[in-house]
Amino acid sequence: MDIKDFSDEQLAGQRLMVGFEGKRFNQDLKFLIRDLRVGGIILFSHNVETPDQIKNLCGSIQEYARAHGQPLLIIAIDQEGGQVTRLKEPFTQFPGNSAMRNVEDALYFAETTAAELAEVGINMNLAPVMDVVSKEITSIMEGRSFGHDPDWVSTMGVTVINCLQHNNIMAVAKHFPGIGRTAADSHIDLPTCDGNLTDMKNCDLLPFEACIDNAVAGIMLSHIIYNKIDPKWPASLSQTIGQKLLREQLGFAGVSMTDDLDMGAINRHYEIKTAIRQILLAGIDMALICHKGPNIEFAYKEILQNIKNSKKLRASGIESVRRIMNLKKKYLGI
């Protein structure tokens, strides 16, 4: 599909990656695909059961999109290994990044995971975690990170990314610009980080720079306020971080996305309209809303209204959807 032929409604919908309830193709998914024209679906443990069930679900999603003249969807999952593993047995179980001893471990994880995801129709892994955990605190990412050394995190993460993507699974590096310095959990409330940009450039940002150099498909922004970079907005809503730092300074040309907007860091502090407006201003490509509820439709309507009313946001939105479609062309063959 050529982006110049996209309606405003399609431009709005492609900016959303959303969750749903159920294990079978259902009316909720029909509404999301047909009416909201969403660009992506995210699967959680409550959506998955057996390999055959997942394959049928993903196949039905893509068939319905084709039948209604929509681009194929990104179908994403968090399959990091260890603490964050949505697919249980009979899928291969891994102990997680912190248990990896060498590059061979990273390759085995990525090759096996890519094959298992591709077999059931999942085309994006929201992994790897590229956060560098601090030695000074008990980091919230202690069990999910590759460790304390940014060079080691870079080496292991890039190994996973290159292997996943060589096997046609989009990888997403997270959580930009790094949450290894925080102890609080953004699922519950809004953490802050006092690291300045110089400190972060010497440590936290190095793995993300390596990811960008290796053409990672996506980068997820954190729900953390970095007091010395942008004291007003968390990274996921920040023009300073999402546009100036990630795009302009680091030169990232892939798809940027927020962490889940249903998390406490956002929904306890910002209305969905405010969050979406900031995401658009920051030029972040995809808003992630992981749970069924009114926020999905509210977000769609807010994106649509803004691109209809603002030439600047519409132009920015076209660039975002172009990046999304470039990924789909590369990995989904559309």
Residue 179 structure tokens: 């949450």
SS3 177: coil
Strands 124-125 and 79-81: unpaired
**CA end-to-end span of the chain:** 7
Cα-to-chain-centroid distance, residue 114 = 17
Give the model's pLDDT for residue 187: 85
Q: Which is the catalytic residue, given 78, 131, 204, 259?
A: 259
Give residue for tokens 């989904």: 332
Under the phi-then-psi rule, with left for phi > 0, alpha for psi from -120 to 50, and beta for the rest, what region is 316? alpha
* Whether the Cβ atoms of residue 206 and residue 151 lie closer than 8 Å to each other: yes
Residue 293: how many other CB atoms lie within 10 Å: 14
What is the average pLDDT across 167-188? Answer: 91
Strands 84-85 and 79-81: antiparallel
Give the model's pLDDT for residue 139: 87
Give the model's pLDDT for residue 14: 98
Specify whether 291 is catalytic. Answer: no
What CA–CA distances, in Å, run from 89 to 51, 53, 94?
A: 10, 14, 11
pTM: 0.97
pLDDT bucket at 181, cuts 50 / 70 / 90: confident
Mean pLDDT of the residues in the chain = 96
Give the model's pLDDT for residue 249: 97
* H-only helix segments in 214-310: 239, 264-267, 272-281, 294-309
pLDDT bucket at 1, cuts 50 / 70 / 90: confident
How far apart are the C-alpha atoms of 223 and 272, rounded to whole Å? 14
Residue range 279-331, pLDDT digits in tens: 999 999 999 999 999 999 999 999 999 999 999 999 999 999 999 999 999 99
Q: Which is the catalytic residue, given 46, 68, 166, 187?
A: 187
What is the average pLDDT across 190-212? Answer: 94
- How many domains, the chain? 1
Closest by CA to 288, choosing from 211, 325, 236, 247, is 236
Residue range 206-249, pLDDT digits in tens: 999 999 999 999 999 999 999 999 999 999 999 999 999 999 99
pLDDT bucket at 2, cuts 50 / 70 / 90: confident
Give the model's pLDDT for residue 3: 86
Would the pLDDT of 65 be above 90? Answer: yes
Give the model's pLDDT for residue 189: 82
Would the pLDDT of 171 be above 90? Answer: yes
SS3 138: coil
* Whether the Cβ atoms of residue 249 and residue 208 lie closer than 8 Å to each other: no
Helix count (H) and strand count (E) of the chain?
Answer: 12, 12
CATH number assigned to the domain comprising residue 218: 3.20.20.300
CB burial of residue 257 (10 Å; 0-12, 13-18, 19+): buried
Give residue for tokens 């997820």: 220
Provide the percentage of residues in the chain whose pLDDT is more than 90. Answer: 90
pLDDT bucket at 62, cuts 50 / 70 / 90: very high
Segments forming the whole domain that contains residue 67? 3-332
Residue range 249-260, pLDDT digits in tens: 999 999 999 999
Q: Tell me the sheet residues that pair with 75.
A: 41
Would the pLDDT of 184 be above 80? Answer: no
pLDDT bucket at 334, cuts 50 / 70 / 90: confident
How far apart are the C-alpha atoms of 288 and 267, rounded to whole Å? 13
Give residue for tokens 């964050």: 84
